[in-house]
Amino acid sequence: MRVPLGKTGLKVNPIGFGGIPIQRLSPQESGKVIKKALDMGINFFDTSRIYTDSEEKLGRIFSQPQYKNKRETFIIATKTFSREGKPAAKDLETGLKLLKTGYIDLYQCHNIGNDEDLQKILAPGSVLDVLQKAREKGKIRNIGITGHKPTMLMKALKAFDFDTVQVPLNYIEQGCLEELVPYAKERGIGVIAMKPVGGGAFKHVPLVLRFNLTHGADVVIRGWTRNTRS
């Protein structure tokens, strides 16, 4: 089953792949996990430039012939933690190289947590200007934002036309349901739910994933290892 990710034009499997835990795996182990996810039909892969070798491990699999030839069937989402234009541009180029792809489907501003962060990425010539130019050149296709504070993310969505928003959503962290998710849904902004099992606090995974998907998430990302806990 595929569902729209807001108005991005992307169709996602509602269960996505979180790229943090594969940092802890060997290249061989991570390769098996990534291949298994692809073969299961998972098509949304979330990582970040600051997740050490996560981009590299994903790129090693994505570049293999059986997957490289099907690039349009899966979605790569990565992020920059940079708050200035030149470092963000460097992060993007590094990500493209490590992920071994000619374009990134969704490039996100990572963990915008306060007004200073937001003003920095909005400044002329800064991160969002860089990403818009990259989108015009076809290096990225959509621009998103991530964070842990729904009120801060609301400010961001009102200040810039983001394509997606990524926010924690689980039985404990439900603050985004008050205003953020309804606002995003009304405007066609894709909603990506992270931390669905609360870092391993909730053990009944099917129930917590169902909770997310019935409360406005387009795709739920969780960490994948041999014993998933994130």
Its pTM stands at 0.94
Q: For position 226, what pLDDT does the model report?
A: 62
Per-residue model confidence as pLDDT tens digits over 27-46 = 999 999 999 999 999 999 99
Per-residue model confidence as pLDDT tens digits over 47-75 = 999 999 999 999 999 999 999 999 999 99
Q: For position 230, what pLDDT does the model report?
A: 43
d(CA 153, CA 164): 11
**Interval 175-200 mean pLDDT:** 93
**Interval 153-159 mean pLDDT:** 98
Q: Which distant-in-sequence residues (6+ apart) come within 8 Å of 17 by Cβ?
A: 34, 37, 42, 44, 45, 46, 221, 224
Both tokens of residue 165? 């928003």
Per-residue model confidence as pLDDT tens digits over 81-99 = 999 999 999 999 999 999 9
Q: For position 228, what pLDDT does the model report?
A: 46
- The CATH architecture one would assign to domain 3-223 is Alpha-Beta Barrel (3.20)
- Supply the mean pLDDT for the chain: 94
3-state DSSP assignment of residue 125: coil
* Cα 9 to the center of its chain, rounded Å: 16
**Interval 128-153 mean pLDDT:** 98
CB atoms inside a 10 Å sphere around CB 62: 20
Q: For position 208, what pLDDT does the model report?
A: 82
Strands (E) located in 103-197: 106-109, 143-146, 164-168, 190-194
Tell me the Ramachandran region of residue 121: left when phi exceeds 0, alpha when psi lies from -120 to 50, beta otherwise.
Answer: alpha
d(CA 6, CA 187): 8
d(CA 164, CA 108): 8
